Structure 1
Amino acid sequence: MTGLAKKVDRYITFEGIDCEERVRQIVAHIRSCIGDISEPSPLHDYFAVKLDEIQGRGQDELYFIGSQVNPLRELFDHHGDDAALDLLEQIEEECC
Structure 2
Amino acid sequence: MNDHTPDRYVTFLGIDCDAKADRMMEMLSARLASTDSPWVRYFEQKLAEKARMATDNLHFVGSQINSLYSFFEEAEDEEGLDLLWHLEHNCC
- Aligned counterpart in structure 1 of residue 33 of structure 2, from 32, 35, 38: 35
2:16 is matched with which residue? 18
The one-letter amino acid paired with 2:22 is R
Which residue among 59, 62, 67 is the counterpart of 1:66? 62
8 Å contact from structure 1 (residues 33, 44) kept in 2: no
**TM-score scaled to structure 2, two decimals?**
0.86
How much identity, in percent, do the aligned residues show?
37
Q: Please state how far the C-alpha of 1:57 moved relative to its aligned partner.
A: 2.8
Deviation readout 1:13-54 (Å, 9 max, x if unpaired): 1110111101110001111111113xx221111112211221
Residue among 7, 12, 22 paired with 2:5: 7
Aligned CA RMSD, in angstroms, stands at 1.5
Structure 2 residue 87 is the aligned partner of structure 1 residue 91: yes
Q: How many residues get paired?
A: 90
Question: Contact conserved, 2:27 with 2:80, CA < 8 A, in 1?
Answer: yes
User: 4+ residue stretches of structure 1 with deviation over 6 A?
Assistant: none
Rg larger for: 1
Residues of 2 paired with 1:88 and 1:6: CA distance? 23
Long gaps (5+) in structure 1: none
Secondary structure of 2:10's partner? coil
TM-score by length of 1: 0.83
Conserved 8 A contact 2:6-2:14? yes
2:22 touches 2:58 (CA, 8 Å); kept in 1? no
What code does the residue aligned with 1:42 have? P
